[in-house]
């Protein structure tokens, strides 16, 4: 009985060591994550192999794993930038981004864990200042907003692609100008709208006048053609046809043949 504790102690120690080794040799990568392996006795961060996938993974107990969220992430930023004429403009933008999974090792090795602060945010701010600086407040406030959004996306993406970060979308959510500038722009836009409406009314009136002139010309041409085609002989024939129809009418009348001007009949006595 006295020897039992001496035999059991090494067994207990052995099992403790096994448990510690197993706990240090396994890691669980959660959904939406990837793991970058760090070899303590090797070359450090592994960049020549794919990142560890989701699920239960075995590693050597002296190595470590850094987890990265590889899902699409959102970042919102409020920025004060200058327009082409030096006026302050506040621009609110949202970007959707995620790390390039195939380059997670390089991202960890060269940029670190907090790549949002060291890469993504500076890239967005730099691109926004560069793009907005090309436009006037009026262009930013009205017609060029979609173009500005696309240019910010293109320039930010060009920066992040080289930094192992994938940019999916840039959304310009709000543009705020100084009140005096905004009021001046709105007045100008209102005046331009009134001018366009006035131009439309003038064009409409001109079109209606052209229509009346064309109709009048058409009637005049028709009358001229008709007058040229109505000879005395044709008029006499038409008169005779009309006389015959009237003579057949049951109404009382007196028809004098050949007594009218140019020999046309005269009809008298219509009851």
**The pLDDT value given to residue 6:** 59
Answer left, alpha or beta for residue 209, where phi above 0 means left and psi between -120 and 50 means alpha: alpha
**The pLDDT value given to residue 74:** 97
SS3 223: helix
Q: What are the tens digits of pLDDT across the range 162-171?
A: 999 999 999 9
In terms of C-beta density within 10 A (0-12 exposed, 13-18 middle, 19 or more buried), how is residue 111 classed?
Answer: middle
Q: What are the tens digits of pLDDT across the range 30-86?
A: 999 999 999 988 889 999 999 999 988 888 888 889 999 999 999 999 999 888 888
In terms of C-beta density within 10 A (0-12 exposed, 13-18 middle, 19 or more buried), how is residue 91 classed?
Answer: buried
Is the pLDDT at 4 greater than 60? The verdict is: no
Question: Please, are residues 75 and 119 in contact by the beta-carbon 8 Å criterion?
Answer: no
SS3 80: strand
Closest alpha carbon to 93 in 145, 137, 15: 145
pLDDT band at 99 (very low <50, low <70, confident <90, very high): very high
Distance between CA 249 and CA 235 in Å, rounded? 21
Rg (CA), the chain: 47
Question: What pTM was computed for the model?
Answer: 0.62
Distance between CA 16 and CA 75 in Å, rounded? 45
DSSP state of 26: E
Q: What are the tens digits of pLDDT across the range 119-149?
A: 999 999 999 999 999 998 878 877 678 899 9
Distance between CA 53 and CA 49 in Å, rounded? 12
**The pLDDT value given to residue 1:** 45
Answer left, alpha or beta for residue 63, where phi above 0 means left and psi between -120 and 50 means alpha: beta
């Amino acid at each position: 009985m006295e020897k039992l504790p001496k035999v059991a102690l090494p067994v207990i120690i052995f099992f403790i060591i096994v448990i510690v080794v197993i706990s240090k040799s396994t890691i669980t990568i959660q959904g939406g994550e990837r793991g970058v392996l760090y070899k303590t006795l090797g070359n450090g961060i592994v960049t020549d192999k794919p990142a560890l996938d989701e699920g239960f993974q075995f590693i050597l107990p002296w190595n470590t794993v850094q987890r990265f969220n590889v899902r699409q992430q959102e970042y919102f930023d409020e920025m004060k930038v200058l327009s082409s004429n030096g006026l302050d403009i506040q621009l609110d933008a949202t970007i959707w981004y995620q790390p390039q999974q195939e380059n997670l090792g390089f991202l960890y090795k060269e940029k670190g864990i907090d790549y949002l602060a060291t890469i993504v945010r500076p890239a967005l701010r730099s691109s926004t200042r560069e793009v907005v600086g090309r436009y006037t407040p009026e262009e930013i406030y009205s017609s060029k907003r979609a173009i500005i959004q696309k240019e910010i996306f293109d320039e930010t993406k060009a920066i992040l692609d080289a930094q192992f970060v994938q940019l999916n979308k840039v959304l310009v959510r709000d543009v705020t100008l100084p009140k005096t500038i905004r009021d001046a722009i709105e007045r100008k836009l209102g005046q331009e709208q009134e001018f366009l409406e006035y131009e439309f009314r003038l064009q409409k009136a001109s079109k209606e006048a052209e229509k009346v002139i064309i109709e009048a010309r058409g009637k005049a041409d028709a009358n001229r053609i008709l007058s040229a085609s109505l000879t005395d002989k044709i008029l006499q024939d038409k008169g005779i046809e009309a006389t015959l129809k009237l003579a057949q009418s049951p109404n009382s009348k007196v028809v004098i043949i050949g007594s009218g001007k140019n020999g046309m009949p005269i009809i008298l006595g219509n009851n």
